[in-house]
Amino acid sequence: MSSRPEHHLTAEDLVRQLRDARARELELFLDLSGEQLLGPQDHFLEPPIWELGHVGWFQEYWLLRHLDGVEPILPRGDSMYDAFNVSYRKRWDHDFPSRDETLAYLETVLDRCVARLDGREPTPEEVHLYQLVAQHEDMHAENLTMIRQTLGYPRPVLARQDLTEPEVDATFECGDVDVFGGTWLLGAPQDAPFVFDNEKWAHPVEVEPFLISNVPVTNLEYLRFVEDGGYTRRTWWGKHGWEWRRRAEAHHPQFWFPDSDDEWCQRCFDRVVPVEPHHPVIHVNWYEAMAWCRWAGRRLPTEAEWEVAAAGPTSRRYPWGDDPPTPERANLDGFRLGTVDVRALPEGDSPFGCRQMIGNVWEWTSSYLEPYPGFVADVYAEYSQPYFGQKPVLRGGGWTTRSRLIRNTWRNFFMRHRRNIVAGFRSCPS
């Protein structure tokens, strides 16, 4: 995303973002078979055909209906695609438009949203909403990637991808780093480019000195917990975590399994690959992260500690500074179609020496999503406010996250039991 203030973005900038977000969504959708468009009725997944229709509906709602007051293009669109009012459990219960009808709807909406900016500069409201719509579609592309992973659909083929493993920094030593205490600013500054309402605004917080791991927890570290019977000993889990583990019959991270030689493998889309020891553990939920920490004598960082360790004393936009992400700094944009070694990408280090705080895996924190002081909901009021106090915060973005979406202040949030997402964690000594 451009580093210019958002009110300086041109119509061409906004159109480029819309088209790029749509191109990725279609890359993840077009090769699916007719049978795969709906998928099994798993109540924690959306049908891919719903995913596609929803991003078109959201774009139409905010850029055509909200801004211009036009009538809906799809008479039944609100009853099918309004995510806030159509629960997960009802997203299979519709007579969806066909693949071709859905694609035609998306094309019509996008063409009208592009045409309405033709020959003029956008207003500040339009700049905000066009970015909202593009980044909303970025988030759903990440979700569609995880639907493909969860259901074992084929690994996507992207127009731009790099499946080579980046060079590992042989001199890097994994361990804890010191972060000094004091008064820090948490949240986005008021002159930041587009941010979501739950990032507003930067405010002082007191943080005690702490230690934090300079890398996320690796597969090798997590495997020791598994092989030590970590999933069979209630003492590590707490009441709700143990209830979840028993219900889910979980014995290891989702998608892991031992092969015929008792070597650990994992399923990546429709392929079986070895568990890479120095890659971050992934597809673990908040309960699993907390259990590992108790077993290891450690804890999850608070989200304030996480942001301090990432941004440093000058509140950088990214761990490395204010320049946008590049593949040399962060594993983002889905180009590698998976995680990389935690010792790679030294150009992305934070001021305290923490590596890969942006990209590779989302990182669970111990904090629940709460409003910052003076919180005021943005025009898309359903984005944050309904979930305050209900979901833990994740920070940093994963390998699937689009680079224009992420920054040190970005706050993701999921229910504690969700484990098919691109989530891992780093830890602090307790």
Domain boundaries, the chain: 6-151, 163-430
For residues 41-56, give the mean pLDDT.
88
Please check whether residue 425 is in contact with residue 356, taking contact to mean a CB–CB distance below 8 angstroms: no
Give pLDDT, residue 128: 97
For residues 44-72, give the mean pLDDT.
95
| Beta strands 392-395 and 362-368, pairing class | antiparallel
% of the chain surpassing 70 pLDDT: 98
Nearest residue to 239 via CA among 302, 294, 282: 294
> pLDDT digits over 144-175, tens only?
999 999 999 999 999 999 888 999 988 899 99
* pLDDT over 80 at 422, yes or no: yes
Where helices occur in 118-237 by DSSP H, the ranges are 124-151, 219-227
Q: Which residues, 6 or more positions from 113, have their beta carbon under 8 angstroms from its beta carbon?
A: 18, 59, 60, 63, 64, 130, 133
For residues 101-107, give the mean pLDDT.
98
Nearest residue to 52 via CA among 17, 96, 13, 94: 96
Residue 278 burial (C-beta neighbours within 10 Å; 0-12, 13-18, 19+): middle
Please check whether residue 6 is in contact with residue 131, taking contact to mean a CB–CB distance below 8 angstroms: yes
For residues 275 and 265, give the distance between their C-alpha atoms in angstroms, rounded to a whole number. 5
Give pLDDT, residue 43: 64
| Type and span of the H or E element at 258 | strand 256-258
| Beta strands 298-299 and 362-368, pairing class | unpaired
pLDDT-derived band at 261 (thresholds 50, 70, 90) equals confident
For domain 163-430, give the fold.
paralog of FGE (formylglycine-generating enzyme) (3.90.1580)
- For residue 426, the SS3 value is coil
Give pLDDT, residue 271: 96
* pLDDT over 70 at 7, yes or no: no
> pLDDT digits over 329-368, tens only?
999 999 999 999 999 999 999 999 999 999 999 999 999 9
Domains 6-151 and 163-430 share a fold: no
Give pLDDT, residue 368: 98
Give pLDDT, residue 90: 72
For domain 6-151, give the fold.
Four Helix Bundle (Hemerythrin (Met), subunit A) (1.20.120)
- Considering the entire predicted model, what is its pTM? 0.96
pLDDT-derived band at 8 (thresholds 50, 70, 90) equals confident
For residues 60 and 112, give the distance between their C-alpha atoms in angstroms, rounded to a whole number. 9
Average pLDDT, the chain: 95
* pLDDT over 80 at 123, yes or no: yes
**How far from chain centre, in Å, is Cα 12?**
26
Give pLDDT, residue 397: 98
* pLDDT over 90 at 94, yes or no: no
Give pLDDT, residue 345: 98
Nearest residue to 183 via CA among 205, 210, 211: 205
Nearest residue to 405 via CA among 190, 137, 157, 202: 137
For residues 290 and 302, give the distance between their C-alpha atoms in angstroms, rounded to a whole number. 12
For residues 176-198, give the mean pLDDT.
96
**How far from chain centre, in Å, is Cα 231?**
26
* pLDDT over 50 at 2, yes or no: no
For residues 186 and 162, give the distance between their C-alpha atoms in angstroms, rounded to a whole number. 34
| Type and span of the H or E element at 243 | helix 238-248
pLDDT-derived band at 6 (thresholds 50, 70, 90) equals very low
> pLDDT digits over 360-417, tens only?
999 999 999 999 999 999 999 999 999 999 999 999 999 999 999 999 999 999 999 9
Give pLDDT, residue 42: 66
